[in-house]
Structure 1
Amino acid sequence: MNQLQSMRVFVKVADLGSFVGAAGALDLSTAVVTRHVADLEARLGTRLLNRTTRRLSLTESGTTYLERVRHILDDLEGVEQMVVARNHEPVGTLRIVAPVVFGLHSLAPAVQSYAARYPDVVPDVTLADRQVDLVEEGFDVGIMVARHMRTASIVTRRLTTGYMTVCATPAYLAQHGTPTRPVHLLKHPCLSRPAEHGGEERVFTGPEGEVRVRPVNAIAANNTEMLRQFALLGMGVAILPSYLIGRDLASGRLVPLLGDYRLPQIEITIAYPSRQHLPAKVRTFIDHLVAHFQQAEEPARDTRIVAVANSVADALAEAGDLAVAAAQRGVTRRAPRTSRARTVASPQVG
C-alpha cells in the first residue's frame, strides 16, 4: 500500500484513538484503515499501537514514530503548497533565451516592464545565436526565428514580424548613387551575413514579380549589429532587420532603399516546452511579451503607411515638376496662348 497514505492514516488513528473514527474522518472503510496500520507495523517490524476492546494506545515506538511522521507530513504539505503557489502566482527564476541582436535591441524593454510588474520573478536572460533545445538546456521560454525551428515537442506563439530592409547612409548614397532596383545592388559593396547564415541570394518581390540577385559582399559578419556599425560608417549598402535599424531610419542616419520591393518577412516566435501545468511566471511572461509587441507594431505600421504616402507624394510632385518644365520649354518654341492650370493633390493619411 502507499506508504505516505499509511502514515496519514496512522496519524489520524492516533489523534482520534479509534480505527472507526479515523475511517469516518478519512472516508475509508474500517478494514482499510486497519490494514494501513498493519502494513506500517509489518514494514517497521514493531507494534505501533496497543489494542484492547475498549481503547487504543501508542507503544513507545509508536510515540516516537508519530512525532517524526508529523514533521514529515507537515514538511510535505508545505512543499506542496509552495509548488501550487508557484503555479498560480508569478514567482521564482524565469530562464529566457533569445538571439543576441533581437535581445539587445527589442527584448530588454519588455523584460524591464515585466520585472517591474512582477517583482517576485527574477528574469535570467541568455543571448545565443545558435540552435537551442529548451527542454535539454532548462529554459522556460525562448525567442526564436521561425525558420530556425527544429523541435516538434515545443509550443510556439507568434510574437512579431521582422522586415528586412535595404539601407545605406546619406553620405554613401551622395557619393555612390542610389540603387532603385535590386539589380543595381550588384554595383555596390554589400554588407550582409555570410552564406551559411542565410544565403547570398536575395529574393525580392516587386512590380515585375520575383527578382533574384546575388549582391557581392564587401564585408561579411555573423552578427547583424556589426553589420549595422559598418553601414553607419558608410562602408556599403546593408540588408538588415527592421527591429535593429528602426531608430536609425527614423533619425535619418540610414536611408531605406528599394521601396518598391520587398524581401521575405521573418516571423519571430516565442517558444515554451508545454501547454500543460504552465507555471504562472511563464504564462504571464508570454502574455506580457505578446501584448508588448502588439503595441509596438501599431506605430510601426503607421510609420510604414506614412512612408508609402510620402513616396507617392514625392513621385507626384516630381511628375508635376516635369510637366511644368515641359510646358515652359513649349512656351519658348510656340507663341503664347492661354494656359490651363492643373493641380496635383498629394494623398492624405488620416
Structure 2
Amino acid sequence: MDRFAELKAFCLVASNGGFSAAARQLNVATSSVTRLVDALEARIGAPLLNRSTRSITLTDSGRGYFEQATQILAALDEADDAASGRDAEPTGVLRITAPVTLANRYIAPLLPQLAQKYPKLELDMRLSDAMVNMVDEAIDVAIRIGNPERQPNLIARKLAGHKRYICASPDYLAKHGTPGTPDELANHNCLLFSYGAGRASWRLRNADLATEVEVRGSISVNNAEMLRQAAVGGLGMVMLAAWLIQADLDSGRLVAVLSDYQVNPGEMDVGIYAVYPANRRGATKIQVFTDMLAVALEGSSGPEAETKPAPHW
C-alpha cells in the first residue's frame, strides 16, 4: 500500500479529529481512510490513535509520529512548490493560532490586505489565550507573547517587544492619588490579569531598588482588553503591554505611573513571537504573513522600546 497515502490519511484524521472529515478532504470514502490508517498501524506495529464513539485522539506514539509525519508532508509540498515555481505566490491553507486580543487588534485589520494581495491563500485561525498545541491542532504558525521555550524542532521569530506599563485613568488618579513609590500600589484598587482571583504580585525596579508588591483588586479577569476598558473607565490601576494601550497613553485616556521604574524586570527577550516548525523556515505563506504582522506591530512597544533586530532561534 502507498506509504505516502497512509501518512496523508493519518495526518488528516489526527488534525481533523475524525475519519469522516479526513475522507471529505481527500474526496474518498471513509472506509478507504480507515483502511489506510489500519495498514499504517499494522506496518508500524503500534496504535497511533485512541478511537472512541465520541472522539479520536493521538496515543503517545501517535503524537511523536504525527509531528514527524507532518514535517515530511510539508517538506514534500515545499519541494514541489520550489520545483514548479509555485513558491513565488503563497497558496493553500495557513493555520494560525494567536491570543484573542492581539489578533483582534493587529491581525484582523490585515485580513483585507492579505486577501487582496494573496488571493490563493486561505487562513484558518484558532484564537485562544490558552497555549494551543501546535501538533494536535496542525498549526503552521503560532503567535505567542512572552519568551517561548526553545525547542529543536521550532523556530521563533521575534516580531516586537513587550514593554509594560502600570497606568490608570486621569479620573481615578484625581480621586485616589498617584503612587510615588511601588509600595503605595498596595493602597490602590489594582485590576488583575489572572485565572484566579483576589491578589497578585507586581515586580518593579529602578536604579536603586528592586521590589515586589502584593496588590489586590475588585476585578480579576483573563482578558487584557477587558482590563484595558475597566482601567479607561476609571476602575483602578492596571499593568498592561504597550501594544494594547499605547493609543490610550498617547490620547491621555490612561496615564502611566512610576515611570522611573521598569515593570517586570529581568524578563530577557520577552516579546511577541511567531513560532513555526523548523522545517517550514522558508515557507512562503508563513513568511508573507509574519512579515506583514511585524510591520503592523512596528512602534507597538512604545517610544522607549529598544530597536534591535528581531532574532530567530
Q: TM-score category by the smaller chain?
A: 0.5 to 0.7
Report the counterpart of residue 96 of structure 1 in structure 2: 96
Q: Distance in 2 between matches of 1:300 and 1:145?
A: 12
> Which has more radius of gyration?
1
Q: Distance in 1 between matches of 2:294 and 2:144?
A: 14
Report the CA distance between 1:111 and its aligned residue. Answer: 4.3
1:115–1:123: 8 Å Cα contact kept in structure 2?
no
Match of 1:173?
173
The alignment's TM-score, normalised by the length of structure 2, stands at 0.63
- 1:227 Cα deviation from its structure 2 partner: 1.1
SS of corresponding position for 1:132: coil
- Asked if structure 1 preserves the Cα contact closer than 8 Å seen for 2:148 and 2:156, the reply is no
Q: Quick one: which amino acid aligns to residue 260 of structure 2? A: D
8 Å contact from structure 1 (residues 87, 278) kept in 2: no
Amino acid in structure 2 at the alignment position of 1:283: Q
* Shift, 1:112, TM fit: 4.0
Match of 2:184 in 1: 184
Gaps of 5+ in 2: 3-79, 306-313
How many residues matched?
A: 222
Instruction: Say whether 1:285 aligns with 2:289.
Output: yes
Question: Any unmatched runs of 5+ in structure 1?
Answer: 3-79, 306-350
* Cα RMSD for the two superposed structures: 2.9
Separation in structure 2 between the aligned mates of residue 218 and residue 81 of structure 1, nearest angstrom: 55
Q: Which residue does 1:32 correspond to in 2?
A: none
Q: Which amino acid aligns with 2:193?
A: R
For 2:189 and 2:125, locate their aligned partners in 1 and report how far apart those are by CA, in whole Å. 36
1:113 corresponds to 2:113: yes
Question: Residue 92 of structure 1: CA displacement?
Answer: 1.8
- Bigger relative contact order (CA 8 A; separation at least 6): 2
**Matched ranges for 1:139-218 at <5 A:** 139-147=139-147, 149=149, 152-194=152-194, 200-218=200-218
Q: CA deviation at 1:176?
A: 0.8
Alignment of 1:331-342 (within 5 A): none
Q: Deviations over 1:123-155 (max 9, x none)?
A: 222211111222321111110023454755221
Distance 1:206 1:82 in 2: 52
Preserved CA contact (<8 Å) 2:166 2:240: yes
- 1:130 is matched with 130
* In structure 2, C-alpha distance between the alignment counterparts of 1:175 and 1:90, rounded to whole Å: 54
**How far apart are residue 196 of structure 1 and its match?**
6.0
| TM-score normalised by structure 1 residue count | 0.57
Name 2:274's counterpart in structure 1.
270
Q: Deviations over 1:190-230 (max 9, x none)?
A: 00112669x82211111323111111122111111111121
The secondary structure found in structure 1 opposite 2:215 is coil
**Higher fraction of helix:** 1
Q: Deviations over 1:14-37 (max 9, x none)?
A: xxxxxxxxxxxxxxxxxxxxxxxx
| Superposition deviation, residue 187 in structure 1 | 0.6
1:66-85 to 2 correspondences below 5 Å: 84-85=84-85
2:250 is equivalent to residue 246 of structure 1 = no
Once residues 119 and 293 of structure 2 are traced to their aligned partners in structure 1, the CA distance between those partners, rounded to angstroms, is: 16
- Overall identity of the aligned pairs, in %: 33
